[in-house]
Amino acid sequence: NAGVTQTPKFQVLKTGQSMTLQCAQDMNHNSMYWYRQDPGMGLRLIYYSASEGTTDKGEVPNGYNVSRLNKREFSLRLESAAPSQTSVYFCASLRDFRSYEQYFGPGTRLTVT
Amino acid sequence: EDKVVQSPLSLVVHEGDTVTLNCSYEVTNFRSLLWYKQEKKAPTFLFMLTSSGIEKKSGRLSSILDKKELSSILNITATQTGDSAIYLCVNRDDKIIFGKGTRLHILP
């Protein structure tokens, strides 16, 4: 099992460019999450998908969109990147919405200049 | 508003010392509190504490939940340089709320 995988590992964008961060899990988990982590801020939830076919906003959704493509894949899109979106992005999965332990991907370090 | 507060935000100790990390929470419907360790990359799970499991131990690490004080502590005894990491406290009820973490650095 690869667990949770994310691509790319690193990305540099110019302000206004768009990109999609990919996340996939092979654990047959129902729930998936996107977080961003900034220095001194802990992890903040951007969007989540409690189950295939549903997505909901988290704490900091502005400037992002998500797609739960199927049970395995949950992508995060930045339509028009801004320097404030410079961060490390983590994807995580949970067996189901009532489970406790999240499994995290290795992260994507994004810099917007 | 639900929140999770960790203290201290950073801590530097010498190898062999014992450390105690704190986490307090204010949440509407408590279900569980989790501790994660984050080294260079993704957080990894350490413990989960619930109303029916308020104390956990694994090797040199242990954690206790105080339901009255709405808090939890993570203890690490005989610290080693490999314990250097950010320790995250997470409340899991209907939402998942992370604290800002405690950055622990162990000096050799």
- Residue A17 neighbours by CB distance under 10 Å: 14
Q: How far apart are the first and last CA of chain A?
A: 36
Low pLDDT (below 50) residues in chain B: none
Q: For residue B2, how many C-alpha atoms fall within 13 Å in the half-sphere facing its CB? A: 16
Q: Which residues of chain B lie closer than 8 angstroms to A107, CB-CB?
A: 41-42
For chain B, say whether A104 makes contact (Cβ under 8 Å).
Answer: yes
User: pLDDT at position B29, please?
Assistant: 78
Residue A107: DSSP 8-state = -
Pairs of CB atoms within 8 A across A/B: 38
Q: What percent of chain A has pLDDT over 90?
A: 78
pLDDT in tens, B28-42: 778 889 999 998 788
pLDDT in tens, A5-41: 999 999 999 999 999 999 999 999 999 999 999 987 7
